[in-house]
A and B are shown apart, each in its own frame.
Chain A
Amino acid sequence: MSTTTPTDTRQADAPIVSARGLTKAYDAGDHPQCVLRGLDVDIHRSDFTVIMGPSGSGKSTLLHALAGLDRPSGGTVTFDGKDITAMGDDDLAVFRRHACGFVFQQHQLLDGMSLMDNAIVAGALTMRSKRDIIAKARTLFTQVGLDERTWQRAATQVSGGEAQRASVVRALVNDPALVFADEPTGALNSHHAQAVLDVFTRLHHRGQGIVMVTHDRHSALRGSRILYLRDGAIVDECRPGTYTADGGQGRERALSDFLERMGW
């Protein structure tokens, strides 16, 4: 069996995020809707973790809880040794600015600003000098394949793929421990989606920890660890190995088998 339970997947490096007994329930009148049900999971910085599962399984909710973007109803999330579930709102915000980078399904850039300005707005959280932020953002824009003419345009004036790559730059500008991506290719065509996934792969190869939610198997193929969620709990996971440019028949087959077993 190529899959193991989450508790068996501990690697040599210590997990940067540990969730224990994580629950999340939404108040839906007389019948509270339970999205996460006592979930335990460890996330390692060396992984490109992909969270998959059917609609409504709690993928995005888990991602938001792990990143301190949403508060769980129960359980704890420890991020780099700190219990983020015990933090106040402003402490959580400070934590996020240093530890997490976010890429959302819609790019969520500030549409009245240029792509560069979006990066500056994020960079201003940890750096005072505009020059330092711009220098860093320039490097990142180049890394994600955006030229100067593009990054000077407003978010509404560029393609979805370019905007999403700009949102990756924004996510990286403060050197986060983990980048959290919530279906980052969900709103893109296949060409743009490919470009964004290539950026993620390159980042992972350079040692950037990534946690990505997706329901797309091609996107999932980029991950080094696939978690499968159903009804608010992780039911299984697989480690297809590190993604290479040629894709690798073995990885694709391993993922297909895994997903088939999960009933995908």
Chain B
Amino acid sequence: MVRAMRTLIRHQWRQGRSAFLAFGAILVIAACLLDTALTLLWSFDAQYDRRQEALAVADIDIVIPQSAASANLERQLSALDGVADVEAHPAVLADSDIPDFRGADFTIRTLVSDADTARRLNRYRHVTASQTGGDLYIPQYVAEFGQFKPGQDLVLRMDGHEERLRIAGTIEDMEFGNAGSGILAFTMPHDAFDAFLDRHRQDAVTEYAVRIDGDATLATVRKDLGTFLDAHGIPVAATLDRQTVRTVRTMVSRIVVLVLTVFALLVALVSLALCAFQIGNAVRRERVDMGILKAIGYTGRTVARTMLAPYLLASLAATLAGILLSLPLVHAVGSLVAMQSGLDYQAAIDLRAWAVTLAALAGLTMLCASTALHGVRRLKPIDAIRTRPAGRRRQARPLAALPGNARTAILLAQACASRPRNLLIAVMSACMTILLAFCATLAYNAALRPDNLYDTLSTETPQLAVATQPGAAREAAGRIASIEGVDDVLDYTTEYVTIDGNRIPAFVSDDFAAARNDIHYDGQHPTDERQIALGSALAAAHPIGSQVAVTHGDEVRSYTVVGFLQSVNDGGAVCELTDAGYVRLEPGFDAASHTLYVYCDGEETAQVAERIKDHADGLVGQVTDTNRMRLASQRMVGTVLVAVSVAILAIALFLVLLVLMMVVQTSIARDRHRLGILKAIGYTSRQLRAETAMVLLPAGCVGALLAAVLCAGGMLPAVQALFATMGVMRSHFELPWALPAAVAVLLAALQLACAFGFARPIRGMAAVDLIRQ
């Protein structure tokens, strides 16, 4: 019996080799994407957690001015409920500009500490080192993202000083190793650090690394620490906890996993539709043979198994091939994600991902094939033997009842003739339209409308940022506004305040409505001195209408929350205050230096900057060409997104071509006799090729248009949901209605052209041979 089944399975394989190969090829892609997603999901997070443990990452980090730090404070903190361990690390914390960070200026708070002091908590791991030594160890994130290498010089502009430092090596830091946490940590050899500390005494801080008890709650201990420091009047420069940092640093990997999984499922759906279509054809083709097998004593179950087995084997082989192909893909995607996260990620084989991929795709194949083969068990041998093997169903409606002229009616009749074929084409068109519409959305907002992407991910960014001399903001603004090429000037200064123990950026302006990038996603901007808008990270704790205490130095003031803001770069920890609102915290603000945001659309920003320096001399200080940074950033992100779009486009085109090739080949093989008759009575090859292609059009159009409608209504919410995982509550992405429609029309046209091409074998068919068959 087993030998007989093996023979029958071999026969099945030979009969439909190309069908199995096409099914397998699509499944390879699905398996590759799914395994990559699952491997990243499990191995990335697992490596992240292991590395956190290995480097004894603190649960909470509190940075305070060195002047406020003491051994006594360390003891007091250790004695708080839920605190298991506290370790103090001397450091320098300051806002820094890093020039030539991947071609642009990069502004970030930097925490510089001693690399040679032994630590129990928040240890570093040296990843690479320069042969010639140096002054500075940089985090992996800076090395990978900023494109710096050991042995090169890195410039840190801090407090007006420019430090040119030779890079000694790269370090992996699991707490401050990524810009997402708002602070980047650098370390220095002991002697270099001492000298550096001497040069930056005003920025000297102490970082308290806190470990909590196993049964304590992170949020509670963090709040208690904040309350304790507030109560003792100790200013906090920064607070971080490992959970928040983990969320920020694994954000991109989670998005990649989500996108890959959705893509894998769409591709798997197409492969399953192809499987059902091919099995349907095989059942029709092999009907007589199946009848004979049943007649000589094979059970329906055995016959069905012989037909199912090749698909299952093809599915297993394809899934394994896809898993093997995923190894380099995991490595490539992992490197991309690692670059963003700052984790020294080592792509590794994940057997769980293998098992789940294999079980999911083989299981789905089994389910789909078993359903398609359901009728085989009920097949009566005598019916099967008597029926013509290529028996086609009677068309539902006569041509006379179909709309249009004779040719149109014939096409419509043919188009409705095969439900499995139409289902396959519709599913494929719908899935590919969704994939391509996603690509188009990314490309449109990253390449054609790059401001949309930039504004979604960043806060307000003008073309030029001008620092005024103390007390000269109003006069400087008036002077700059009159300069040729300047469209608008907005007083928009970033200060720092403390809320819930966290030092966060406060955007201070009297006219948030004049800003180009509206970052508020709920409520409104503050309009009077008692109002505040909070970033998304603070939204849960401070609903609109509630009062929030804001600290700046020794001043503590209460404000009414009127709205929520998004700020990806700051992890949603920001706020907005009016000038008068900030003056309540800092009475000397009017007399201090402000930042003026200068808008000069269509102008050469460097020239406008020169004009500002000339015309407002004595009123302004540094003029920063933020437009240059913006363009560099847009170029970088745009390049990545366009590359992603092209990759998706290539996969989609491959799938379309493969499915169409199989459908057309199957149609021609099944309709050889019919084609012969039509050729004999006078249909030309071109007409028959066109008919073969055009009968696929209605199903393709229906699938593509339904998906286009779905995309027109659902793509932006889906993208918004994707962004929400990054903390973006309001996406600026646009999707013109014509874009999914254009994708659907182009896809339909592509299908028509490809199907016409794949129907070329009709040309070589001689009518008389086809009739003789």
Residue positions of A touching B, CB distance < 8 A: 64, 69-70, 89-90, 93-94, 96-98, 100, 102, 104, 108-114, 116-117, 120-125, 127-130, 133-134, 152, 154, 156, 170-171, 174
Contact (Cβ within 8 A) B399 A120: yes
- Chain A residues contacting B680 (CB-CB under 8 Å) are 69, 96, 102, 108
Interface segment, one of B191-199, B285-293, B404-412, B725-733: B404-412
| Residue B382 lies at the interface, judged by CB distance under 8 Å to chain A | no
Majority DSSP secondary structure for residues of B touching A? helix
Most buried by A among B393, B410, B680, B766: B680
Q: How far apart are the CA atoms of A192 and B188 in the complex, in Å? A: 104
A69 to chain B, nearest CB (A): 5
A174 to chain B, nearest CB (A): 7
Contact (Cβ within 8 A) A90 B685: yes
Cross-chain contact of B395 among A102, A117, A128 (Cβ < 8 A): A117
- Chain B residues contacting A110 (CB-CB under 8 Å) are 674, 677-678
Q: How far apart are the CA atoms of A96 and B681 in the complex, in Å? A: 6
How many CB-defined contacts (below 8 Å) exist between A and B? 98
Q: How far apart are the CA atoms of A109 and B399 in the complex, in Å? A: 15
Q: How far apart are the CA atoms of A104 and B395 in the complex, in Å? A: 23
| Residue B398 lies at the interface, judged by CB distance under 8 Å to chain A | yes
A252 to chain B, nearest CB (A): 33
Chain A minimum-CB-distance residue to B403: A130
Contact (Cβ within 8 A) B398 A116: yes
Chain B minimum-CB-distance residue to A104: B771
| Residue B400 lies at the interface, judged by CB distance under 8 Å to chain A | yes
| Residue B380 lies at the interface, judged by CB distance under 8 Å to chain A | no
Residue positions of B touching A, CB distance < 8 A: 388, 391-395, 398-400, 404-407, 409-410, 413, 417, 674, 677-687, 763, 766-768, 771
Contact (Cβ within 8 A) A133 B406: yes
Cross-chain contact of B684 among A89, A104, A124 (Cβ < 8 A): A89
Contact (Cβ within 8 A) B682 A98: yes
Cross-chain contact of B392 among A108, A112, A170 (Cβ < 8 A): A112
Q: How far apart are the CA atoms of A109 and B681 in the complex, in Å? A: 11
- Chain B residues contacting A69 (CB-CB under 8 Å) are 680, 767-768
Chain B minimum-CB-distance residue to A130: B406
A217 to chain B, nearest CB (A): 25
Contact (Cβ within 8 A) A70 B766: yes
- Chain A residues contacting B685 (CB-CB under 8 Å) are 89-90, 93
- Chain A residues contacting B417 (CB-CB under 8 Å) are 112
Q: How far apart are the CA atoms of A125 and B684 in the complex, in Å? A: 10
Contact (Cβ within 8 A) A174 B682: yes
Contact (Cβ within 8 A) A113 B682: no
In the A-B complex, the 10 residue pairs with the closest CB atoms? A97-B682, A124-B406, A90-B684, A112-B392, A93-B684, A96-B682, A117-B399, A70-B768, A130-B406, A120-B399
Contact (Cβ within 8 A) B400 A125: no
- Chain B residues contacting A70 (CB-CB under 8 Å) are 766, 768
- Chain B residues contacting A174 (CB-CB under 8 Å) are 682
B228 to chain A, nearest CB (A): 84
Q: A70-B766, A124-B406 are in contact. Are A117 and B684 (CB under 8 A)?
A: no
A8 to chain B, nearest CB (A): 31
Contact (Cβ within 8 A) A124 B410: yes
Assuming A116-B398, A120-B409, A123-B406, what are 9 further A-B pairs, CB within 8 angstroms? A90-B686, A98-B682, A117-B400, A121-B678, A124-B410, A125-B681, A128-B407, A130-B400, A130-B406
Chain B minimum-CB-distance residue to A157: B394
- Chain B residues contacting A120 (CB-CB under 8 Å) are 399-400, 406, 409-410
Cross-chain contact of A93 among B388, B682, B768 (Cβ < 8 A): B682
- Chain B residues contacting A117 (CB-CB under 8 Å) are 395, 398-400, 413
